[in-house]
Amino acid sequence: MVKAVVLGAAGGIGQPLSLLLKINPLVSELALYDIVNTPGVAVDLSHIATPAKVQGFLPPDDGLKKALTGADIVVIPAGIPRKPGMTRDDLFKINAGIVRDLATGIATTAPKAFVLVISNPVNSTVPIVAEVFKKNGVFDPKRIFGVTTLDVVRASTFVSEILGDLSLAPSVKVPVVGGHSGVTIIPLLSQSSHPLPTSFKAEALDALVNRIQFGGDEVVKAKDGAGSATLSMAYAGAEFAEKILRAVKGEKGIVAPTYVHLSADKAGGDAIKKEIGKDLDYFSAPVELGPEGVVKINSLGKVTEYEQKLIQAALPDLATNIEKGASFVDAPK
């Protein structure tokens, strides 16, 4: 029996993500929480002929606590999305407080749940969740994840487009590491399961890296003020949640890039710090998942000189984003 909870379930990501969780056979109970509209979304989804029992909750009458009671996995897509011209960091002012309050609810009601943070800026919101958990004495770095899967999904799609065969997209695997915004998104294309054509030029590589790093901007621009990626994000979030659920059920060898506190696997985390040459607390790396969450943080593997430069370019932003999130929780409200 697995209870999944979506916080921000009535939003652009929350609704399709809740749909995908409702049709996931590994989910037996689904609780939807938002500040608006969850009763309607829940009744709508509840008519789908799959086993998961769906309930919607709003803030009155302890709705957050009721939604979270007995949760095994909590996915957080609550908060405002970007509009054209905004960076993910511009969302911090509003989303930091939302994530802090939701994390407090999880820490006090379902401290053992796996927490999957989608709300941006992920580089900072994950440290916020961790600090809230520390404050409540329930911090377990093996159970808190920043969802960077959309960057991985985009890399698979864009590489398969370059290879001229979209049918390859589901099987193209590219590790994307670092963080989840702009230059902190580092695709390790030299490790792609499907190598780029040998004719691929340096400028074309620059363009591909840039497209993966700023793929979110393509969506923001095309939506023209109506928000950022929602459907592809729901797909990516459901894919990552499914990996966690399969690992919990005992499936071995599941590895996914995700943004974690590097103490989740001390030896692996220390090795990453050596590889990047900086003592950061958080980094997105390929993580092996198991019944208790993080089993092992894998090495970044063999990176090219070009990729090492991308890593070095990411570190200042990452360090600033982490510090901003980590120091927010104790800052005056």
Binding site for ligand NAI (CB under 6 A): 7-8, 10-14, 33-36, 77-82, 91, 95, 98, 102, 118-120, 122, 147, 150, 180, 227-230, 233
Cα gap 237→176, rounded to integer Å: 15
Cite the annotated binding site for substrate by residue number.
82, 88, 120, 154
Cite the annotated binding site by residue number.
8-14, 34, 82, 88, 95, 118-120, 154, 233
* Complex with ligand NAI: residue 143 or 180, whichever CB lies closer: 180
By the 8 A CB rule, do 315 and 308 touch? no
* Complex with ligand NAI: residue 37 or 190, whichever CB lies closer: 37
* Complex with ligand NAI: residue 122 or 280, whichever CB lies closer: 122
* Complex with ligand NAI: residue 78 or 303, whichever CB lies closer: 78
Amino acid, res. 239: E
The tokens describing 198, both together, are 């040998």
CB of 71 to ligand NAI, least distance (A): 14
Give the residue at shortest CB distance from ligand NAI. Answer: 11
Question: How would you classify residue 104: left for phi > 0, otherwise alpha for psi between -120 and 50, otherwise beta?
Answer: alpha
CB of 73 to ligand NAI, least distance (A): 16
CB of 271 to ligand NAI, least distance (A): 25
The tokens describing 142, both together, are 């093996």
CB of 264 to ligand NAI, least distance (A): 19
DSSP for 294-330 reads: EEEE----S--HHHHHHHHHHHHHHHHHHHHHHHHTT
Instruction: Give catalytic residues, as residue numbers.
Output: 180
Residue 124 has a CB neighbour count (10 Å cut-off) of: 30
Reference 178, options 57, 317, 289; nearest CA is 317
